[in-house]
């Protein structure tokens, strides 16, 4: 086989998880469904309640922020269901990285994993900086004044000062995570339950001060020159609700950290899907309830964008309630920081175990059963980012990786549902020259018993008439189980749907005014994109699906994964060009790491296998 052929086989090789050996792990299996649900709620229920709700209500949607949260919740549930199915299929550490490795191949998995490292670092840093700002606002900006005097920063694209508090809390939490998951999860459970208790208190107490007239404010009810909208329940119209939903969507980001715990859960195939769905439901009820009472307590235009709920209680004269909520907000943001930092060392561990990044980063402590080196390095990196950048700069950088991961997981669910079952050979991934002899001995004595493998079988080249592919578009042969032809057709259909989703998103963003003014060309172009996407889904619905039994499956396939892909692509297209530039720079660094370290390891692994055979 030529060099290009070998390279292509390595870039597209897929990890296979043996259902028996998959239960074995270096990490300690100590987490229960309760621990996972608390982790998901804690990581998600923070910024959305204590920051986003007030900002969206004041500037974007008004009282209709509750509908924005509803739309965002539906979009998040689509992604959550896809993650839940993959959690049942591949209960290993690594989240979207391992899912992609199982379904698509090594190169795309590296792209997702490398991107997730950046996004988890940025997400953790933004929560740390947000926690610092939230606490500092309650202390009359004492920390800010001190830090400006001690360590001012006079660089345009950085913060005004180095935030030592955000740096310190990131490193301390990384140290706590290094001691092991069981101890860390117990603390997280307590903090999360306190956070939920404060949310319940906010909803109940806020109802005593609710005034329905705050949802019926007349236009120009104040003398303010600020853009207050048209008043009423939809002061900024339906456009404001949709824009608000795009912002509120990020309030649900974090549940995917549950999927990174696959190797530390007692019964991952059942616990992971249940915890994802349950945590999203709890978080939605919390967002929905708090946004209702906060907009009923005071007019939407009086909301505070930093500490909205404590501010609302202060306005209505309940100072004591303000401090209860403020202290609860600190606990909530601490839990959110824990949930944001937890997945990062697990991603590093998974990629290091596969030799795609430096292997020492994935070394697991014999005493604490956790990847200490990767955890501490990720904590220090998070602390540096939190110290150097403002929360606004950090939030702008955190979205694209999450949305891309959601998109690929949804597409992977579709690909696996329509995939023909193959008789695949088990070949170890992650073998290097350091363990070459041990691998050789094991390979010769115990054939094909490794848990993590890749498919390296040569495809059987068969001539298939083109007419069969056209007939398979409507499954004219009425196959009830996937065939090689139906699998290829389904793969092409999934790819085409992603392309058509991009076209629909571009039309929605760029041709909105032309469509509103009735310009025929814009309407026709948009209609063609929508029609082709619908026809693609109809054809995909007719294809035979896999009969593999799973503890959880996404319902209404292909509709729900397709909607998830459409929504995620639309939100990605809404990101500004600076986000895409930063993404490009980070990926250039990643390709260098993969090209000079990961790919040579993969070539060595492949040559070792051929030599043994």
Strands 15-17, 452-454: pairing is antiparallel
Query: Looking at residue 201, what is its pLDDT?
Result: 92
Query: Looking at residue 502, what is its pLDDT?
Result: 95
Query: Looking at residue 532, what is its pLDDT?
Result: 96
340, 120 contact by CB (below 8 A) = yes
Across 400-407, average pLDDT? 80
- 48 vs 611: which has the higher pLDDT: 48
pLDDT above 90: residue 292: yes
- 370 vs 559: which has the higher pLDDT: 559
Print burial letters for 502-539: b (CB count within 10 Å at least 16), e (below 16): bbbbbbbeebeebeeeeeeebeebbeebeebbeebbeb
Query: Looking at residue 473, what is its pLDDT?
Result: 86
Residue 492's pLDDT band (cuts 50, 70, 90): very high
First CA to last CA distance, the chain: 15
pLDDT above 80: residue 407: yes
Query: Looking at residue 106, what is its pLDDT?
Result: 87
Rounded Cα–Cα distance for residues 304 and 310 (Å): 9
Query: Looking at residue 376, what is its pLDDT?
Result: 87
Query: Looking at residue 445, what is its pLDDT?
Result: 35
Backbone phi, then psi, for 399, in 5-degree steps?
Answer: -90, -35
Rounded Cα–Cα distance for residues 486 and 54 (Å): 49
Q: Which of 178-187, 421-430, 443-452, 516-525 has the highest mean pLDDT?
A: 516-525
Query: Looking at residue 261, what is its pLDDT?
Result: 65
The rounded mean pLDDT for the chain is 79
pLDDT above 70: residue 219: no
Spell out the residues 6+ positions from residue 435 whose beta carbon is closer than 8 angstroms to its own. Answer: none
DSSP H or E stretch at residue 452: strand 452-454
pLDDT cut 70: percent of the chain above it: 81
Query: Looking at residue 542, what is its pLDDT?
Result: 93
Query: Measuring CA to CA, which residue among 137, 204, 198, 200 is closest to residue 328?
Result: 198
Residue 578, CA atoms < 13 Å, CB-side half-sphere: 7
Query: Looking at residue 341, what is its pLDDT?
Result: 80
Rounded Cα–Cα distance for residues 419 and 102 (Å): 12
pTM: 0.79
Rounded Cα–Cα distance for residues 307 and 50 (Å): 6
pLDDT above 70: residue 308: yes
- If one counts every other C-beta atom within 10 angstroms of the C-beta of residue 453, the result is 21
The CA angle 580-583-589, to the nearest 5 degrees, is 145
Query: Looking at residue 560, what is its pLDDT?
Result: 93
Spell out the residues 6+ positions from residue 398 whose beta carbon is closer than 8 angstroms to its own. Answer: 119, 122, 123, 126, 250
pLDDT tens-digit profile of 529-579?
999 999 999 999 999 988 888 777 888 889 999 999 999 898 888 777 777
- 44 vs 62: which has the higher pLDDT: 62
Query: Measuring CA to CA, which residue among 118, 101, 120 is closest to residue 110?
Result: 101
What are the angstrom distances between the C-alpha of 594 and each of 107, 363, 590? 9, 19, 6
- 570 vs 422: which has the higher pLDDT: 570
Least confident of 131-145, 256-270, 298-312, 346-360: 256-270
pLDDT tens-digit profile of 83-126?
878 767 765 544 678 777 877 788 888 988 887 888 788 878 88
DSSP H or E stretch at residue 15: strand 15-17
Query: Looking at residue 439, what is its pLDDT?
Result: 33
DSSP H or E stretch at residue 4: helix 3-12
Spell out the residues 6+ positions from residue 31 whose beta carbon is closer than 8 angstroms to its own. Answer: 39, 181, 182, 185, 261, 264, 265, 266, 271
134, 368 contact by CB (below 8 A) = no
- 3-state SS, one letter per residue, for 541-591: HHCCCCCCCCCCCCCCCCHHHHHHHHHHHHHHHCCCHHHHHHHHHHHHHHH
261, 272 contact by CB (below 8 A) = yes
Query: Measuring CA to CA, which residue among 550, 36, 548 is closest to residue 262?
Result: 36
Query: Looking at residue 606, what is its pLDDT?
Result: 64
Spell out the residues 6+ positions from residue 255 whose beta carbon is closer than 8 angstroms to its own. Answer: 40, 43, 44, 76, 80, 83, 276, 279, 280, 283
pLDDT above 50: residue 63: yes
Query: Measuring CA to CA, which residue among 584, 583, 563 is closest to residue 504?
Result: 563
Query: Looking at residue 430, what is its pLDDT?
Result: 45
| Strands of 221-340, DSSP E | none
pLDDT tens-digit profile of 2-30?
566 677 778 878 776 655 545 455 555 56
Residue 262's pLDDT band (cuts 50, 70, 90): low
pLDDT cut 90: percent of the chain above it: 15
57, 308 contact by CB (below 8 A) = yes
Query: Looking at residue 449, what is its pLDDT?
Result: 40
Rounded Cα–Cα distance for residues 520 and 508 (Å): 15
pLDDT above 60: residue 228: yes
């Amino acid at each position: 086989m030529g060099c290009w052929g070998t390279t292509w086989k390595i870039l597209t090789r897929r990890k296979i998880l043996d259902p028996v050996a998959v239960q074995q792990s270096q990490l300690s299996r100590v987490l229960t469904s309760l621990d996972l649900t608390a982790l998901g709620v804690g990581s998600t229920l923070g910024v959305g309640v204590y920051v986003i709700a007030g900002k969206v209500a004041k500037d974007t949607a008004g009282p209709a922020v509750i509908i924005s949260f509803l739309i965002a919740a539906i979009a998040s549930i689509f992604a959550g269901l896809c993650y839940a199915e993959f959690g049942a299929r591949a209960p290993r550490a690594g989240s979207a990285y391992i899912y992609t490795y199982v379904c698509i191949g090594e190169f795309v998995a590296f792209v997702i994993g490398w991107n997730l490292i950046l996004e988890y670092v940025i997400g953790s840093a933004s929560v740390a900086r947000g926690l610092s700002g939230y606490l500092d606002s309650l202390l009359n900006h004492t920390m800010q004044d001190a830090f400006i005097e001690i360590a001012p920063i006079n660089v345009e694209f950085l913060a005004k000062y180095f935030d030592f508090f955000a740096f310190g809390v990131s490193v301390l939490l990384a140290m706590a995570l290094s001691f092991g998951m069981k101890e860390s999860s117990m603390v997280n459970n307590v903090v999360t339950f306190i956070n939920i208790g404060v949310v319940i208190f906010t909803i109940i107490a806020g109802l005593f001060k609710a005034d329905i007239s705050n949802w019926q404010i007349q236009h120009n009810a104040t003398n303010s020159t600020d853009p207050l909208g048209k008043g009423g329940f939809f002061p900024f119209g339906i456009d404001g609700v949709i824009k608000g939903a795009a912002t509120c969507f990020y309030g649900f980001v974090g549940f995917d950290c549950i999927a990174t715990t696959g190797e530390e859960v007692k019964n991952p195939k059942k616990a992971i899907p249940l915890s994802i769905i349950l945590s999203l439901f709890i978080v939605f009820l919390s967002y929905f309830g708090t946004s209702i009472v906060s907009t009923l307590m005071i007019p939407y235009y009086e909301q505070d964008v930093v500490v909205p709920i404590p501010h609302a209680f202060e306005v209505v004269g309940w100072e004591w309630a303000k401090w209860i909520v403020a202290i609860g907000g600190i606990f909530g943001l601490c839990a959110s920081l824990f949930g944001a930092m937890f997945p990062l060392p697990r991603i590093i561990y998974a990629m290091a175990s596969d030799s795609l990044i430096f292997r020492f980063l994935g070394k697991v402590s014999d005493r604490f059963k956790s990847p200490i080196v990767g955890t501490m390095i990720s904590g220090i990196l998070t602390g540096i980012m939190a110290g150097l950048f403002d929360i606004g700069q950090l939030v702008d950088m955190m979205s694209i990786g999450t949305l891309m991961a959601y998109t690929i997981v949804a597409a992977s669910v579709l690909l696996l549902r329509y995939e023909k079952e193959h008789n695949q050979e088990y070949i170890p991934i992650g073998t290097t020259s350091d363990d070459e002899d041990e691998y050789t001995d094991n390979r010769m004595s115990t054939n094909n018993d490794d848990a993590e493998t890749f498919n390296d079988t040569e495809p059987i080249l068969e001539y298939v008439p083109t007419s069969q592919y056209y007939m398979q578009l409507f499954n004219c042969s009425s196959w009830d189980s996937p065939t090689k032809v139906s699998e290829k057709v389904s793969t092409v259909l999934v790819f085409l749907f992603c392309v058509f989703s991009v076209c629909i998103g571009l039309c929605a963003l760029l041709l909105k005014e032309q469509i509103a003014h009735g310009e025929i060309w814009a309407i026709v172009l948009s209609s063609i994109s929508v029609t082709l996407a619908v026809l693609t889904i109809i054809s995909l619905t007719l294809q035979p699906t896999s009969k593999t039994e799973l503890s959880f499956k996404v319902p209404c396939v292909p509709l729900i994964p397709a909607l998830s892909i459409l929504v995620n692509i639309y939100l990605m297209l809404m990101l500004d060009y600076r986000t895409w530039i930063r993404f490009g720079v980070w990926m250039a660094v990643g390709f260098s790491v993969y090209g000079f370290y990961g790919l040579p390891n993969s070539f060595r692994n492949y040559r070792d296998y051929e030599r043994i055979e």
